[in-house]
Chain A
């Protein structure tokens, strides 16, 4: 178990290093960092001095080492467009994105899993076919279009919910601004959360359905039937538990992509999160923010992966206890 955790940790470290290398190369070689920092009227001598001061003349490997050490201390340099430290920019935007992502993930799971179980168990009913049709539409519709349609119907037409921004936020302990504690904050969250979660919800539903069908075909379910266990015990005890093992893995990984997909939702709803920041960085070629965002997303992915692996171990006794045969 501990060996397993260590192995995973080393792997995670490897992935982080690779991503760091990509970030560093973007930072160092795409455009000239010095050009971005100074005006047009700066003399070549001054540029050279700055170049020396920034360490850009050192061996590349040394520069990379310095980049990694700084990144580990959350020092990603100064944003070209905002002239502010990237770390504080991201820190101020992080709560908005995380709250949106977690609420979306919760919505996707809370709705997707029951729908998947239902369509798996009663796959020939009209309701199940309806769910499946909806899921296909959900997979086919681009996220931004869903957002626009929701705004059009719910905000513009019906006027029920706000269409942009986070509403009123409350600062917790001076570091975290939350929108979950005010009425307008919660109202503002509904449409973006649905928009962001809808795609994942349909994905989870299809995944659960597929796994459920697979599990229902296994020998142990057949044997459970032959033992005369009730439908309830078979479907919701044996089948569901076995279905959820792979679902945990994939939903965990999906949480990572929810955070990345938040870019689109944040744009549609003008949600002041990291995604919007990153998009502005792409449009304005603000490399330090792009590099930092990439590293942050990679870190979140690796972290989630790690947690999912541990969770998986906790659920599946075959991995937890080892044993004679798989």
Chain B
């Protein structure tokens, strides 16, 4: 088996506040294989962006990594000295932020920002860097690249600016690209173009992508696998088709049901999950989702579930625990089956 490009193990991110330490990410593990696109989904505040920031080493203080490991192509990067981590940023991990309008320094020409980035990571002359900058602009589909190099950010439209941002993030051919809501701030009409562009460029370069978004449509079209976060914890992770079509965690089921479909009955009410995600300081004991879950039982309120195999996915839910059939009340098991949850087929420890 090849080494994953990114491997996150038991990541724990804490934010000390004056009212106590908040745990923003709790015991999160996932891998991204070379060239793979992993979608990160969840409500705002679920910890998607924080995971991205933790991987690239740019957590906003006072947030800090309090446990676990992050490995890039096998090399541990969460405990590197600041200067060594800086050399990895941009060079081996590229990042794209949500708002292209504010991601570019308004006082610098596009070309200068590109050349600066290229010169930071590659041993080339200024002339070569400039040529490469023009090439990058052409690659991301900016017409008249040569003249546009001397334009300022405000002279571009939002979509064009995000193209420039992508060019900047890919300038040094990183092996991992973290895209944090890359299209949220854009007009709907250009969202699809930007996503397609990002996907194509990363595929050409063989770069793995961590795509953070709350837009399930984008995930379904772009990602190979999906990782669903809830209150800073992993809810479900698996191949995109399975997670979308056959979600195995009750939260994912609710999330998928809440997506409007074009083919469906227009008069049909959108499903909602009752209640709202708990604030970080008020996560209930046991499974974080249990107060809102239709299928919870006594164990859910007492213990924290770990990710169990659930079909081709993994889901952090006791319904997938080998001993589920013995522990959960039968009416809940029936309801879960009816909702499409595939229960473990062995009755472990029943003897």
Contact = CB atoms under 8 A, between A and B. Distances in A.
Contact of B169 (A227, A237, A316): A227
Contact of B103 (A219, A238, A317, A325): A219
B131 interface: no
B165 to A, nearest CB: 7
B107 A323 contact: no
A228 B106 contact: no
A230 interface: yes
B57 to A, nearest CB: 9
Given A223-B95, A226-B89, A229-B90, A324 B117 contact: no
B56 interface: yes
Most buried by B among A219, A231, A245: A219
Interface string B77-114: 00000000011111100110101011111111000000
B116 interface: yes
Contact of A223 (B103, B116, B158): B103
A137 interface: no
A228 B58 CA distance: 11
B91 to A, nearest CB: 6
A225 B152 contact: no
B154 A325 contact: yes
A245 B120 contact: no
A227 B112 CA distance: 14
Contacts, number: 94
A230 B157 contact: no
Contact of A317 (B56, B102, B107): B107
Contacts of A228: 86-91, 117, 120-121, 172
A225 B116 contact: no
Nearest to B104: A220
A325 B185 CA distance: 14
Given A242-B107, A317-B107, A229 B102 contact: no
B103 to A, nearest CB: 4
Contact of B105 (A220, A225, A321): A220
A126 B110 CA distance: 38
Nearest to A215: B105
Most buried by B among A226, A238, A321, A323: A226
Interface in A297-326: 315-318, 321, 323-326
Contact of A321 (B91, B120, B152, B172): B152
A219 B107 contact: no
A238 to B, nearest CB: 5
Interface string A73-105: 000000000000000000000000000000000
Most buried by B among A219, A223, A225, A237: A223
Given A227-B89, A227-B168, A317 B106 contact: yes
Contacts of B297: none
Nearest to B118: A227
B30 interface: no
B95 A226 contact: yes
B156 interface: yes
B53 to A, nearest CB: 9
Interface size class of B (residues with CB under 8 A): 35 or more
A245 to B, nearest CB: 7
B90 A220 contact: no
A324 B108 CA distance: 17
Interface string A234-249: 0001100110010000
A318 B58 CA distance: 29
B233 to A, nearest CB: 25
A230 B91 CA distance: 12
Contact of B107 (A229, A230, A241): A241
A224 B95 CA distance: 10
A214 to B, nearest CB: 13
Interface size class of A (residues with CB under 8 A): 20 to 34
B171 interface: yes
A324 B89 contact: no
Contact of A245 (B107, B108, B171): B107
A42 interface: no
A222 interface: yes
Contacts of B99: 219
B44 interface: no
B155 interface: yes
A245 B105 CA distance: 13
B152 A323 contact: yes
Contact of B155 (A224, A245, A323): A323
B167 to A, nearest CB: 11
Contacts of B154: 317-318, 321, 323-326
A6 to B, nearest CB: 23
Contacts of B103: 219-220, 222-223
A65 B169 CA distance: 64
Contacts of A317: 106-107, 152, 154
A140 interface: no
Interface string B128-171: 00000000000000000000000010111110000001001101
A224 B105 CA distance: 9
A270 B165 CA distance: 60
A32 B261 CA distance: 86
Nearest to A320: B152
Nearest to A238: B105
Contacts of A229: 90, 116-117, 120
Interface in A148-172: none
B152 to A, nearest CB: 4
A218 interface: yes
A222 B97 contact: yes
29 contacts: A218-B102, A219-B97, A219-B99, A219-B103, A220-B104, A220-B105, A223-B104, A223-B168, A225-B58, A226-B90, A226-B169, A227-B89, A227-B95, A227-B120, A227-B169, A228-B86, A228-B89, A228-B90, A228-B172, A230-B86, A230-B120, A238-B105, A241-B105, A245-B107, A317-B106, A317-B107, A318-B154, A324-B154, A325-B101
Interface of A: 218-220, 222-231, 233, 237-238, 241-242, 245, 315-318, 321, 323-326
Interface of B: 56, 58, 86-91, 94-95, 97, 99, 101-108, 116-117, 120-121, 152, 154-158, 165, 168-169, 171-172
